[in-house]
Structures are given as structure tokens and as C-alpha cells.
Amino acid sequence: MKRIRTYQAGLLSLSLLLSGMFSSCTNDDPPKPYGVLPSADQLEWQKMEYYMFIHFGPNTFTDVEWGNGKEDPKVFNPTDVDCRQWAATAKAAGMKGIILTAKHHDGFCLWPSEYSTHTVRESLWKDGKGDLLKELSEACKEYGLKFGVYLSPWDQNHPAYGTPEYNQIFANTLTEVLSNYGPIFEQWFDGANGEHEGGKKQVYDWKMFHDIVYKNQPHAIIFSDVGPGCRWMGNERGVAGETNWSRLNIEGFGPGKAAPPTDTLNIGNVHGAAWVPAETDVSIRPGWFFSPSTNDKVKSIDQLMDIYYTSVGRNSNLLLNVPPDRRGRIHANDSTRLMEFHKEIESIFSNDLSKGATVKASKTRANSSKYAASNLLDDNYDSYWTTDDDVLTASLEIDLGQAKSFNRLVLQEYIPLGQRVAKFNVEYLNGDKWEEVAQATTIGYKRILRFPTITTQKLRINIQSSLACPILNKVGLFAAPEKLSSPVVMRNKEGVVSIACATPEPVIYYTTDGSEPTTSSKVYKGEFKLSEGGTVKALATIDKGKNQSEVVSVVYDIAPVLWSVVSPVADNLSFIVDGNPNSYVAVKDNTPVVIDLGSKLNLKGFSYDPLKSETANNVYKYNLYTSLDGKTWTKVQSNAAFNNIKNNPIKQNVLFDKAVEAKFLKFEPLQTTASSKDYIVAELGVITK
Ligand code: FUL
């Protein structure tokens, strides 16, 4: 009897235990994935965050952004290629890999391809025995970096381009690259094509190309405007959308053909059907290829930090281009800047002020410690805080234990279960009042918010809208040094230079002879004349020089003091010659512009400032004429192109084959970057120095 009762009691407690286990199991289950998810390879790729792009090829020597494929392969003759230096630089800069332009739009192959006669084999480099892909892939292995390749489907050299045979040739090229130099972490397919009307049209066999990638490199991420591995984020300025979903609708689009509009690429689609995260590609110099003329235009630390925040800080990977010079080495100006940039990132993000804090969540899934808010502070990627399925808003309160000062907040969503958060804000306890310090939309893999320094013990993150229960795995707080704004140098039509600075009451030092300004240089007391041109370098300081800005450097040619637009006659055309690249005009009906330079000048070249917008109708192809009397014209540039101006609308400097005497300039647009009949000119200038 006793035995039976015991047995029954045992059964009862077993069933209680089981039911308890069962119900807590239900509540304790991780949330179901939301929407489409990253693959394991996409997740690994996203965790790389920052890697190097290398543009190298004939353009490095011919000083153009897009070669036309007709250049003599012998122009490619670097004197001192050192891929180990590239890899060592990338590694020391904190990058996780390198992607090389194995073949750009000129068709030149940086390896001795069997399927082309426009390769390193035909060049003078190493007597035609060199192989850049081999050297760089080996250097990457040695330095523990991942290796990726860029291949342009658009090929201006290959005779078969524009015919169905080209697809097989491109496929063979791909196989060569992907089977000989692996492992390849990313295959970059450039969508650019400058053929326009009347040009060659290639109908690409993307299915075949993708099959080849996956057959040879099953883990490779395929980049294009629409992925499928990762997507172009719509501009070459380094600015991903403030809202940035990793989902995208790709149905009906294709790489190299009708891609979604650039503003969609920039922000993704909230309910997109495919996981295609953003990659931000941007160059450390104004152009993608090295040019001696840009040695002093390497982006400043402030500019690079801005790019870091608008890429990595906005749910995007950063692919930073560092073009080797004509020796085949990364120029000291670029490598020095990369080290400074890395140091800055490290100095900010190596000291997480939330260490040792406590975090309380207003809601926690099943009230289970498994999903506790404390998971946000550990370094385990796979431990996270989340809420019950039906809870879409919640607050996280961080108590730092004592007042601390900071101005950066890092948040990460646990994307293996999908991207969910659509809106949140951040408040801090100021005395006894909660005050908002920032608000934002998406988080994604990583979001970094910048705000003015606050000092507080308590911070609150309010998730205000989420597509499913929010899942966050990281919170971090950091203090970036408050930087002094760099001076802004302007010169007007009369050649008068003014220097301003956003920081109140700075002391500005400057030079005009190209030397570096220091606190012993001339103090800026007011405007000065520089109508004949020169280099202005300026430095802002406060606290008796203890706190200094970065140096800015601006090179000026002759000022447009005497210039005027003689035709067409229309309002505001004087903006073209007012010395101010921020004022612009839309010239009606694609009419040529004629400028009277006021005196005879010896022109080495000319410059065109477009409107700095990817959607503006800037000039792509043009003719340029010069004249001494405004009647008889000499064509100095015929059907010339500002290559890549659509995606990278920066100032274009064009050098003539030989200098020419002129008093008049005629600029005639032939093709523009958008469909409008009015083209944009911000400034036309001359190069005489
Ligand atoms: C663009 C190209 O046209 C540029 O030359 C550069 O390679 C950039 C990364 O992609 O589409």
C-alpha cells in the first residue's frame, strides 16, 4: 500500500515537474526568426566591418578614372610593387581583408589571363612575368587577411564584348580568378557601364556567373547593386542611410541592369524579401585610382571618422579604397592617415564606459535570466536581451554607478534572428529630469549614435517601434574627444581669401607658400588677396595653441577676377565664374557656355565643378574649345568624358596634351548624367600652374 501511494505521489510530482518544464520551456524558447535572415557567411562577412579596397592598373599611370581599353599595356610598369606592404598597412590599420580590382573597365587583367591579350603579361612589369593576384593573395594569407576580387563585367578592351560569346569569356575569366587565388571572401561585380546610346550592349548571363562563383568559392559574398550577398549602398561618399535595413526587394532587378533607385539602395526595404546588407565603398582620395595631383587631398581624420560613423555606425560594412602609387606602394600620406584613423577609432572604442554598469529592462522575455538585460554588457555575441513575442516596445535603463561623461552609444541587434527595431530614442537623467539626447530609427548589426557630451549616472534607451519583439545583444558607451572644427577657406571672384571656423574665438594660423602652418605662422586677422593663386594651409587653435584642429589645405589657380560669361545670356550665369563652387546654375537646352577670360592666359588645362549630387544632371561627355578672339575656335577636348562623375560628382581637373594660349573658353556638353535638358555647372576654372 505504502509502496503504491509512494508510486502515485511520485507520478504526481513527476507530472508537475514535467508540466512545469513544459510551460517554462514554451516561455523560455528563443524568439522565432523575423523575416528573411542572414546566411552564416553573411553574418561572418558583417562581423568583418572594415576592409581595404585597392584600385590599381593602367589608370594609375595614365591619370584617368576610367581607361578606355586602348591604352598600351606597357604603360603598366610599377617600379617597386610590394603587396606585403599593402597587407601590412591594411593589418596595422585594423582592416580585416583586401579586395583588389583584378580587372577594371579597361579590361586590363592584373594576372596573366589566358582569355585576354590586355594583361600584366603584355606589360613591362617584371618583363611580363608578374602576377598581382598571386602576390596579393599570398601577402593576405601571410598577414591573416581575407582576400576578395573586383571584376568589371563591362570591358572596353575585349573584342567580344557586346556579343553573346563574351559571357563565356567572362565566365572563363571568373573561373581562372576564383580557382587559382582562393579562398575569396567577396566577389565584387561592378555595375558601371559608360556605353550609353550607340554603345555596345551586353546581356549578361548572371546565372552562369553566380554558379561559377558558388562552385569555386561556396562561401563568397557576391557584391552588386542588388547582391545577392551584399549591396552597393547608393553613393561613393561613404554615407549609408540613417535608416538602413539589411533587407531589399530584388525581384525584377539585376546587377548591371535596372537597379532599385539609389535612395532605396541607401536605406534598404523595411519588408524586403531578401537579406542584402549594405557595403559602403569610398576612396581615401577624391578618385579611385592614384594620381600625383591628389597626394595632398587624402581625406582628413575628421572626414574618415565621419565616414566610419555613417557606414559601420549605420549598419554597413566599410570598404575603404587606398590606391597604390606608381611604384606599387601605398603612398606615405595615405598610410600615415590610415594609422591616425585607426588610432582614433581605437582610442575611442577601446574604453567602454558601460563596463561594470547595471542594466534594467522594463520587460524581459518570460522574466527569464536567460534573456536578461545584463547580456547587453557581456562580450558574448550570442547572448542577448529580448522580450515576449507580443511586446514591441520596452526601455533599458543603464546605471553607471557614478556620473560619467560620454558622447557615443553603440547598439547591436542580434541579426541571426532578423532585423527588427524601427525607432528608438535615448534619454539621460539630468538632475531629476529625463532628457532626450538622441533619436534614431534602425539599429541592425551595429548602430553608433553621436551626440554632444553628457555627464550622467543614468541613461535610458526606449525602443519605440519594433517589427517583432526587439532582440539586442550589445550596448556600449564611449567618450570621443571634442574636436576643434577645422577652418574653412574660401576665395571669392576678386581673389580675396577668407578663413572661418565654427569653433568660437579660435586663433587661426596660415601659410600661403605650401608649408605646414604652426603656432609660429602668420595669424589670420582678416581677408587677404591671392588672385594669382597659391596654396593656403590653415590651422585653428584655442587655449593658446594647446588644442589644435587638423590642417586644411586648398590649392588655388588664377582667380576669375576679369572673367565673364558672354553666352548664352541668362540669369545667374555669373555663378559659373564667381569662385564659389557652392553656387550653381542649370544651363538651358544643353547650350554651350562661352567665357571671356579677360586676358590671354597660357592654359595647361581646365576644371569643371559639378553639383555634388548623384542625381543632378551634371555633364558626362563634352567638347572644349579655346579661342584668342572669340570667333575662331580650336577644339582642345573632343568627345571627352568626365568618367564616373555620376557616382562620384567631384571637381574634375583636366590637363591638355599641350598648353594653349587662350582668351576665350567654350564648354559644350554632349551627354549628361540624367535625362534633363538643362545641365548643371557650379564652376568652370583654368589650370595655368
Ligand atoms: C564604380 C567604378 O566605375 C569606379 O571606377 C570604381 O571602380 C567604383 C568602386 O565603382 O562603379
Examine the pLDDT at 422 and tell me if it is beyond 70.
yes
pLDDT band at 344 (very low <50, low <70, confident <90, very high): very high
Nearest by Cα to 441 from 458, 426, 460: 426
Ligand 1 center from residue 239 Cα (angstroms): 16
Its sign, for the CA torsion 303, 304, 305, 306, is positive
Q: Which of 62, 190, 652 to mutate to test the pocket of ligand 1 (most atoms within 8 A of CB)?
A: 190
pLDDT at 192: 87
The answer, yes or no, to whether any atom of ligand 1 lies below 6 A from the CB of 192, is yes
How many CB atoms lie under 10 A from the CB of residue 292?
10
pLDDT at 588: 93
The answer, yes or no, to whether any atom of ligand 1 lies below 6 A from the CB of 644, is yes
The answer, yes or no, to whether any atom of ligand 1 lies below 6 A from the CB of 190, is yes
Ligand 1 center from residue 288 Cα (angstroms): 7
**Alpha helix positions (H), 542-615:** none
pLDDT at 218: 98
Q: What percent of the chain stands above pLDDT 90?
A: 89
How many CB atoms lie under 10 A from the CB of residue 601?
20
In one-letter notation, the amino acid at residue 593 is V
Taking only the tens place, the pLDDT of each residue in 621-631 is 999 999 999 99
The answer, yes or no, to whether any atom of ligand 1 lies below 6 A from the CB of 160, is no
The answer, yes or no, to whether any atom of ligand 1 lies below 6 A from the CB of 288, is yes
Taking only the tens place, the pLDDT of each residue in 555-600 is 999 999 999 999 998 889 999 999 999 999 999 998 999 999 999 9
Taking only the tens place, the pLDDT of each residue in 283-311 is 999 999 999 999 989 999 999 999 999 99
Ligand 1 center from residue 120 Cα (angstroms): 21
Q: Closest ligand 1 atom, CA of 65? A: 5
What is the grid cell recorded at 420?
527588427
User: Which residue's CA is the closest to the ligand 1 atom numbered 1?
Assistant: 192
Q: Is 502 in contact with 485 (CB distance < 8 Å)?
A: yes
State the maximum Cα–Cα separation within the chain, in Å, rounded to a whole number: 124
Average pLDDT over residues 206-225: 97
Taking only the tens place, the pLDDT of each residue in 69-109 is 999 999 999 999 999 999 999 999 999 999 999 999 999 99
**Alpha helix positions (H), 296-450:** 301-310, 332-349
Ligand 1 center from residue 190 Cα (angstroms): 7
Nearest by Cα to 686 from 603, 609, 618: 603
Examine the pLDDT at 182 and tell me if it is beyond 50.
yes
pLDDT: which is higher, 39 or 252: 39
The yes/no answer on whether domain 358-478 falls in CATH 1.20.1050.10 is no
pLDDT at 9: 41
pLDDT at 680: 96
Ligand 1 center from residue 418 Cα (angstroms): 31
Spatial CB neighbours of 680, under 8 Å, sequence gap ≥ 6: 584, 585, 586, 587, 610, 611, 616, 617, 618, 619
Spatial CB neighbours of 96, under 8 Å, sequence gap ≥ 6: 48, 49, 50, 51, 145, 146
pLDDT band at 18 (very low <50, low <70, confident <90, very high): very low
Rounded Cα distance between 25 and 251, Å, is 39
pLDDT at 257: 65
pLDDT band at 2 (very low <50, low <70, confident <90, very high): very low
pLDDT band at 465 (very low <50, low <70, confident <90, very high): very high
pLDDT at 19: 40
Q: What percent of the chain stands above pLDDT 70?
A: 96
Element (H, E) at 31: none
Q: Of 137-151, 184-198, 370-384, 655-669, where does mean pLDDT reach its minimum?
A: 184-198
564-687: CATH number: 2.60.120.260
Mean pLDDT of the chain: 94
Same-fold call for 488-556 versus 564-687: no
Q: Closest ligand 1 atom, CA of 150? A: 7
Ligand 1 center from residue 338 Cα (angstroms): 21
Examine the pLDDT at 5 and tell me if it is beyond 60.
no
Average pLDDT over residues 606-633: 96
Length of the chain: 689
Q: Closest ligand 1 atom, CA of 101? A: 7
User: Which residue's CA is the closest to the ligand 1 atom numbered 2?
Assistant: 192
The answer, yes or no, to whether any atom of ligand 1 lies below 6 A from the CB of 65, is yes
40-346: CATH number: 3.20.20.80
pLDDT at 14: 45
User: Which residue's CA is the closest to the ligand 1 atom numbered 10?
Assistant: 190
Q: Where are the domains of the chain?
A: 40-346, 358-478, 488-556, 564-687
Q: Closest ligand 1 atom, CA of 321? A: 9
The yes/no answer on whether domain 488-556 falls in CATH 2.60.40.10 is yes
